[in-house]
Structures are given as structure tokens and as C-alpha cells.
């Protein structure tokens, strides 16, 4: 039994899904947003909200950025301290953006959808377990036993999305899959409220250990790297690093973790955009859009949701959902984030092959050359 028909269905209400829903708020399309959890829900993250996230929010609606800054606890980041061996590189990062807890940031986006997108029916606690192709789009089956139909599908359900893999035919690329853990700490010494810290080791590159100050006085501390570079349990690498590192151990001597150490997947982009087909687009982590150098994905997730929604709206208007139409989404992505991803992908591969290049690149980065 079909519960409702929609023009556009979005699976997942993270940054990608909410950006898509917000982009469609003034359209004439009937939209459904399905989310397996209920908000506010937490997301394991470093909480670094980069400039692409901020710029996309502004593009969706300039007043949303103002509202974010006026209502959310966020720290403006102006500097980065990069540690490598015994050297420290300090640089201005005017484009980094903010730190803000994902619990708050994602809930902020979700609340905007609920408040402003009257054409979007929101289904919380409604995980989509299966989609089935029909002549006019898809049937969606929820874990609660309901069934919906849609002409256009935006798959935004994160790094573990089986639906994305089934639709695009892509396989889980284990060699480019990263993993990261993070915990919140109190009492970390010598923090600066406008400075993020990143610590590299050759063997884990592009992975790194991060120390991000948060507006509530806690610190988000984490470590991530490619799964294939892990020779030990990731939690133990992280804990040993902060406990024994010459520079960090005194700063963490009296620090206490105020949350469990938890982890998640990092699907690094490999300079490919397998993200469209007849009646569907895939966005954010489900399309492996994570930056190959920084491991950040919120900005690309939001940008991809924003572009996919524009293409989906046109498909509905023209009654044409063929892959020649949805390919326009992939082309927008290529144009807006493809060059960045390409440069960073090539740079990462180069450093991974010739690890001695890492300090050279850090020096060039400091001088603003790369």
C-alpha cells in the first residue's frame, strides 16, 4: 500500500539532505525528507565547519548565515598550527570557517527545513531500507513497513549508503576508505580560541591528529587516516599519541575526556563523481565527496545537496528524469568542486608515493604556494 506520492524524495537529513530540502523550499515540488534518527541527533565529527559550508548556507539564503552566527555557539577560526616532527608551522587560514558542534549545526539546518520548507514533508525515525525502480521513478520502503513513491530520488544518507552503491553500481573502495575517532576533552592546556591544530606523521598521511577548540570550552580531539595505513587499533594509536608525544603529553596531563572515543568512516574522493542516473542523484558522503587532503566533507555535502536539488527541480518542471538531465548535477559538481578535488587528489597521491615531500609541501603551504 503506497502511503504518499512525491515529486522528490530525499533520503537522509544530514548536511547534504537538509541543504537539498532548503534549496527546494520555494519550489512547486512536493518533497519528502526521510531520516532514520530523530533530531537533535549527534554525528561523530571534528566539528570543523569550513568555508564551503558557510558559503553554501549563504547561497541558499544569506539570512541563514546571519541566523547561524547569531544563534549558534561557534568559534571563528583564523589560524592553523601544523605540527610535523619537531617543527611547527603557523599560518593564517581566513577561509577555514568555524568550529561548531555537529549536534547543534545539523539541528540548526534541520530546524530551518521544518520552519521554512512548507512543501517538504519530514519523516523522522523513518529509515529507508530499500528502494525499487518503477516506470516513473522509485518505490521507497521504510523500516516501519510503509511504502512511498517518488519521481526523483536524492540519496543523501552518508558514508555507509547501500542504496547509493546499488544505484550507481559502485563498490566499496576499501583502499581509499578512511576511518577516524574523536572525543571531547576538558582541561587541555595552551589552547587558542581562534586556532586549530593539526599534527602529521609521514606514515599516516593524509591522516592526522586534530585539536579543535569549541565554543563551550571543551576541545574536539581526534585522529583519522586511511584504513590500509592502520597497523594497530586506531583508538590505541590516538591514545598513545596524546599520552606520549613530547609536545602534547604535558598539555593533556590534566585533561579529561568528557565523551566516549567514537569513530566513523571517511570516504575520501578519488577524483571521480559516480553520482547520477535515471531519476536519481547521490550527494555528500554517499557519493564519496570527502576532501582527499583535509578529510572534511560537510562543505561538499552541502554544496552537492544544493546543486542536486536545483537539477531535481528542473527534472520535475520538464518532466524529464533521464540521466542526460541528472548528469547536469555531476557537471555542476565538477565545475564547482572538481578542480579543488583534482588538485588535492594529485597532491595526496604524490606525497603518499614520495613521503619526503610532506615537509616540503607544508613549507609551501605556509608560504601560500599550495
Ligand X SMILES: Cc1cc2nc3c(=O)[nH]c(=O)nc-3n(C[C@H](O)[C@H](O)[C@H](O)COP(=O)(O)OP(=O)(O)OC[C@H]3O[C@@H](n4cnc5c(N)ncnc54)[C@H](O)[C@@H]3O)c2cc1C
**Contact pick of 23, 27, 30, 157 for ligand X (by CB under 6 A):** 157
Residues in Cβ contact with 325 at an 8 Å cutoff, skipping those fewer than 6 apart: 311, 314, 315, 318
> Binding to ligand X by residue 44, rule CB under 6 A?
yes
With respect to ligand X, which residue has the nearer C-beta, 12 or 207? 12
**Contact pick of 57, 266, 315, 341 for ligand X (by CB under 6 A):** 266
Peptide bond into 233 cis (omega under 30): no
| Contact (Cβ atoms closer than 8 angstroms) between residue 154 and residue 309 | yes
**Contact pick of 22, 32, 48, 204 for ligand X (by CB under 6 A):** 48
> Binding to ligand X by residue 264, rule CB under 6 A?
yes
Burial of 107 (0-12, 13-18, 19+ CB in 10 A): middle
> Binding to ligand X by residue 113, rule CB under 6 A?
no
Please provide the DSSP assignment of 218-247 as one string. -EEEEEEEEGGG--S-HHHHHHHHHHH-TT
With respect to ligand X, which residue has the nearer C-beta, 277 or 295? 295
> Binding to ligand X by residue 292, rule CB under 6 A?
no
Q: How far does CA 55 lie from the centroid of its chain?
A: 15
> Binding to ligand X by residue 112, rule CB under 6 A?
no
With respect to ligand X, which residue has the nearer C-beta, 127 or 187? 127
**Contact pick of 8, 32, 77, 298 for ligand X (by CB under 6 A):** 298
Site residues for ligand X, 167-226, by CB under 6 A, read 180, 182, 222, 224
Candidate segments 21-29, 47-55, 87-95, 249-257, binder of ligand X by CB under 6 A:
47-55
**Contact pick of 6, 7, 8, 15 for ligand X (by CB under 6 A):** 15
Site residues for ligand X, 301-340, by CB under 6 A, read 301
Could you tell me the smallest distance in angstroms from the CB atom of residue 14 to ligand X? 2
How many residues of this chain bind ligand X (CB under 6 A)? 38
User: Going by DSSP bridges, is the β-strand pair 87-99/177-186 parallel, antiparallel, or unpaired?
Assistant: unpaired
Could you tell me the smallest distance in angstroms from the CB atom of residue 311 to ligand X? 17
Could you tell me the smallest distance in angstroms from the CB atom of residue 237 to ligand X? 14
Which backbone phi and psi does 344 adopt, to 5 degrees? -70, -35
With respect to ligand X, which residue has the nearer C-beta, 15 or 206? 15
Collapse the DSSP code of 56 into the 3-class scheme (helix H, G, I; strand E, B; otherwise coil) and give the result: helix
**Contact pick of 4, 5, 40, 43 for ligand X (by CB under 6 A):** 43
Q: Determine how many CB atoms are found less than 10 A away from the CB of residue 369.
A: 8
> Binding to ligand X by residue 284, rule CB under 6 A?
yes
Collapse the DSSP code of 90 into the 3-class scheme (helix H, G, I; strand E, B; otherwise coil) and give the result: strand
Could you tell me the smallest distance in angstroms from the CB atom of residue 318 to ligand X? 27
> Binding to ligand X by residue 58, rule CB under 6 A?
no
> Binding to ligand X by residue 36, rule CB under 6 A?
yes
**Contact pick of 9, 10, 11, 32 for ligand X (by CB under 6 A):** 11
Burial readout 209-226 (b: 16 or more C-beta within 10 A, e: otherwise):
bbbbbbbeebbbbbbbbb
With respect to ligand X, which residue has the nearer C-beta, 37 or 310? 37
**Cα–Cα distance measured from residue 40 to residue 18, given in angstroms and rounded to the nearest whole number:** 13
| Contact (Cβ atoms closer than 8 angstroms) between residue 273 and residue 338 | yes
Element (H or E) spanning 79, and its range?
strand 75-84
What angle is formed at CA 49 by the lines to CA 228 and CA 175, rounded to 5 degrees?
15
Site residues for ligand X, 124-143, by CB under 6 A, read 127-128
Collapse the DSSP code of 337 into the 3-class scheme (helix H, G, I; strand E, B; otherwise coil) and give the result: helix
Question: In the 8-state DSSP scheme, what is residue 172?
Answer: P
**Contact pick of 7, 8, 12, 31 for ligand X (by CB under 6 A):** 12
> Binding to ligand X by residue 97, rule CB under 6 A?
no
Give contact residues for ligand X (rule: CB under 6 A).
11-17, 34-37, 43-48, 50, 127-128, 156-158, 180, 182, 222, 224, 264, 266, 284-286, 290, 296-299, 301
Amino acid at each position: 500500500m503506497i502511503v504518499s506520492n512525491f515529486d522528490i524524495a530525499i533520503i537522509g537529513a544530514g548536511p547534504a539532505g537538509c541543504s537539498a530540502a532548503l534549496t527546494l523550499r520555494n519550489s512547486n515540488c512536493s518533497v519528502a525528507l526521510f531520516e532514520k534518527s530523530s533530531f537533535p541527533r549527534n554525528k561523530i565529527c571534528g566539528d570543523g565547519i569550513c568555508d564551503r559550508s558557510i558559503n553554501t548556507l549563504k547561497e541558499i539564503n544569506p539570512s541563514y548565515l546571519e541566523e547561524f552566527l547569531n544563534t549558534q555557539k561557534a568559534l571563528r577560526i583564523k589560524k592553523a598550527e601544523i605540527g610535523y616532527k619537531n617543527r611547527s608551522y603557523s599560518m593564517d587560514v581566513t577561509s577555514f570557517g568555524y568550529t561548531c558542534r555537529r549536534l547543534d549545526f545539523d539541528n540548526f539546518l534541520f530546524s530551518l527545513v521544518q520552519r521554512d520548507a512548507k512543501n517538504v514533508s519530514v519523516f523522522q525515525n523513518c529509515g529507508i531500507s530499500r528502494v525499487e525502480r518503477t516506470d516513473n521513478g522509485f518505490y521507497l520502503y521504510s523500516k516501519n513497513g510503509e511504502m512511498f513513491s517518488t519521481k526523483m530520488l536524492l540519496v543523501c544518507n552518508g558514508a555507509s549508503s547501500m542504496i547509493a552503491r546499488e544505484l550507481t553500481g559502485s563498490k566499496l573502495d576499501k583502499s581509499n576508505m578512511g576511518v577516524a575517532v574523536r572525543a571531547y576533552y576538558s582541561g587541555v592546556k595552551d589552547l587558542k580560541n581562534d586556532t586549530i591544530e593539526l599534527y602529521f606523521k609521514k606514515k599516516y598521511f593524509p591522516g592526522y591528529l586534530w585539536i579543535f577548540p569549541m565554543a563551550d570550552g571543551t576541545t574536539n580531539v581526534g585522529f583519522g587516516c586511511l584504513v590500509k595505513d592502520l597497523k594497530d587499533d586506531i583508538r590505541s594509536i590516538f591514545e598513545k599519541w596524546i599520552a606520549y608525544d613530547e609536545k602534547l603529553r604535558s598539555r593533556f596531563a590534566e585533561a579529561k575526556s568528557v565523551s566516549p572515543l567514537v569513530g566513523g568512516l571517511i570516504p575520501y574522493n578519488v577524483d571521480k563523481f559516480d553520482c547520477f542516473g535515471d531519476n536519481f542523484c547521490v550527494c555528500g558522503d554517499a557519493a564519496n565527496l570527502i576532501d582527499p587532503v583535509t578529510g572534511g566533507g560537510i562543505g561538499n555535502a552541502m554544496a552537492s545537496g544544493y546543486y542536486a536539488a536545483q537539477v531535481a527541480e528542473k527534472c520535475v518542471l520538464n518532466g524529464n528524469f533521464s540521466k542526460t538531465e541528472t548528469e547536469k548535477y555531476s557537471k555542476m559538481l565538477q565545475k564547482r568542486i572538481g578542480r579543488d578535488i583534482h588538485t588535492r587528489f594529485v597532491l595526496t597521491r604524490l606525497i603518499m608515493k614520495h613521503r619526503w615531500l610532506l615537509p616540503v609541501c607544508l613549507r609551501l603551504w605556509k608560504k601560500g604556494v599550495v
